[in-house]
Copies of this chain bind each other. A is one copy, B any other.
Amino acid sequence: MGFDEVVLEANAAFYHAVESLDCEKLDHILAKDEPVCVVHPGWALVSGREAVLESWTRIFDHAGVMQFVIASATAHVEGDIAWVTCVEHLTSVQGGRVIEGAVQATNLFRNESGTWRITHHHGSPVR
């Protein structure tokens, strides 16, 4: 399996962790070393591992369900950094309402001692 495939697996694992609505699973997926940052759709940057996990906790607290169908995932690997672009077709339940939408994502991964971990996630709504 080439690096591209390994990184795409790490990308899929990231979305499975988010779907689980379980911050402990996300904790395992996130890069251990800083920088760790996230841009949720419509948000400004959240910077730092602790703050990033807290931001997901807030999102999970308000979501009954988050389900992703990931399309057009493409990986680029250069040394110990890789980035994946993909489209998230997201179905979520918030306050009893079903919300569907498309999010364009850029995800950065770092090779930490042989494991590709997500260090930066940027998601933005597609009009």
A residues adjacent to B (C-beta < 8 A): 35, 37, 39, 41-45, 47, 72, 74, 76, 78-81, 83, 85, 87, 102, 104, 106, 108, 110, 120, 122-127
Contact = CB atoms under 8 A, between A and B. Distances in A.
How would you classify the secondary structure of chain A's contact residues: helix, strand, loop or mixed? strand
A127 B44 CA distance: 8
Contacts of A78: 79-81, 110
B125 A122 contact: no
A126 B79 CA distance: 32
Contacts of A35: 74, 76
Nearest to A81: B81
A26 to B, nearest CB: 19
